[in-house]
Amino acid sequence: MKILLLTPWFPNPENPTLGNFILRQFELIAAHHDVYLLAFSANRTAGKSVSCESTEKYGFKGWHITHRSGQGPLSWRYARKGRSLGLSLMEEDSFFPELVHAQIAHQIGDLLHRIKKNRSIPIVSSEHWSGYLEERNENLRTAERFRKWLAIRSVDVLLPVTNQLGEAMKRSGFTAQDICIWRNPVNDRLFKPSPKKIFDFMHLSSLDANKRPLEIIRSFHELLKDHPNARLSIGGDGATEPLFALREELGISPKNLDIHGSMNYKEVAERMRSARCLVQFSRYENLPCTIGEALTAGLVIISSDVGGIRELVNEENGLLVPRDGHKALFQAMKSSMESPLIPKAFDFLKTKKLMDQIDAIYEEILRKRN
């Protein structure tokens, strides 16, 4: 099947890891279908109003279109110019899709509406954006509200990553005929259980205020009073300086608390194989990729009970704590040291299952169209 992949979230100079989870979905689709990728990024420091770069280094035929960001109508004009360039390049490459698989619909609703109007092909759209959630209730700018309205009119099947996100999108106005849950796949050749454990706990994230890495370190510091040999690995894509500063302030030994920066996909899998528990304490989430990866790798999950996390995490594989349950987080970590949970095998996110699921969705939408 010829499938056009569209995304406004893509690695770029301003955010080198943006949309890594989107690439995981696209890689799975590309392994079984003939795909063409058009990715779009706004860049405040772009020298040209619109520029393009091949996506071959990411393993996809297609283009990454970068347009200069601006204010009001100017930003819309740059974005529209970029959309037109992308479609022209696709036609020059003689790629004529049977179906569109988009991501983050409210940011590219104008493009989806244009394709729907001019080409009349089915559109499915995956969704990961947590801005629909009640705890965030993100206020969209005028242009984004209009693009969202166009997306609502254009998308045939919505593919939110959790049931909870799907319900939030309905409340937000989406009226697609079908809403199917399609989660982020996990490469089970990389993420697999291992008996070799170096760390009792690990945390991996963007290290921003929502993820609360400093609160995790403070809870771990309390745990060390009862379990002085416990070990925590913590790091990710964000600033690590505050983590080092807090480690020094609390007097935690580097032997107990290992801090690291960004990791590639294989390094993440290796780190997970060497840990026993994944700790999350976000204020809000949909369903972090790290949770699915950790479960597939045989880790126990300790997480704040937010978003769709409880759709995968239960008493058989983890411990959920209240969003503001700082003491409960410490107690869960303490319980994990004193009464270790042996999680059941987890295979819900393996690539074969998710590929079968998305193929069934594609086939059904084309069947209805014919």
Reported as a single tens digit per residue, the pLDDT across 201-227 is 999 999 999 999 999 999 999 999 999
- What pLDDT, on a 0 to 100 scale, did the predictor assign at position 75? 78
Cα separation of 113 and 174, whole Å?
14
Q: pTM of the predicted model, to two decimals?
A: 0.92
Residue 324 pLDDT > 80, yes or no? yes
In sequence order, what are the beta bridge partners of 40? 65
* Strand blocks (E) in the chain: 2-7, 34-43, 50-54, 62-68, 99-103, 123-127, 157-160, 178-179, 199-205, 232-236, 257-260, 275-279, 300-304, 318-321
Reported as a single tens digit per residue, the pLDDT across 156-165 is 999 999 999 9
State the angle between helix axes of 73-92 and 109-119 in degrees (0 to 180), rounded to the nearest 10. 40
Burial tier of 359 (Cβ tally within 10 Å: 0-12, 13-18, 19+): middle
3 state SS of 34: strand
Residue 71 pLDDT > 90, yes or no? no
Q: Which structural domains are found in the chain, ordered by start?
A: 2-185+352-369 (3.40.50.2000), 199-338 (3.40.50.2000)
- What pLDDT, on a 0 to 100 scale, did the predictor assign at position 117? 94
What residue has token string 């079984």? 32
Say how many CA atoms lie within 13 Å of 140 toward its Cβ. 17
Cα separation of 296 and 187, whole Å?
9
DSSP code at position 350: B
Mean residue pLDDT across the chain: 93
- What pLDDT, on a 0 to 100 scale, did the predictor assign at position 294? 97
Say how many CA atoms lie within 13 Å of 19 toward its Cβ. 24
Confidence of residue 36 (pLDDT cuts 50, 70, 90): very high
Backbone angles phi, psi at 81, to 5 degrees: -60, -40
Q: Are the C-beta atoms of 50 and 69 separated by less than 8 Å? A: no
Reported as a single tens digit per residue, the pLDDT across 227-237 is 999 999 999 99
Reported as a single tens digit per residue, the pLDDT across 235-293 is 999 999 999 999 999 999 999 999 999 999 999 999 999 999 999 999 999 999 999 99
Q: Are the C-beta atoms of 99 and 122 separated by less than 8 Å? A: yes
Cα separation of 231 and 213, whole Å?
15
Confidence of residue 138 (pLDDT cuts 50, 70, 90): confident
- What pLDDT, on a 0 to 100 scale, did the predictor assign at position 46? 66
Reported as a single tens digit per residue, the pLDDT across 88-118 is 999 999 999 999 999 999 999 999 999 999 9
Cα separation of 290 and 259, whole Å?
17
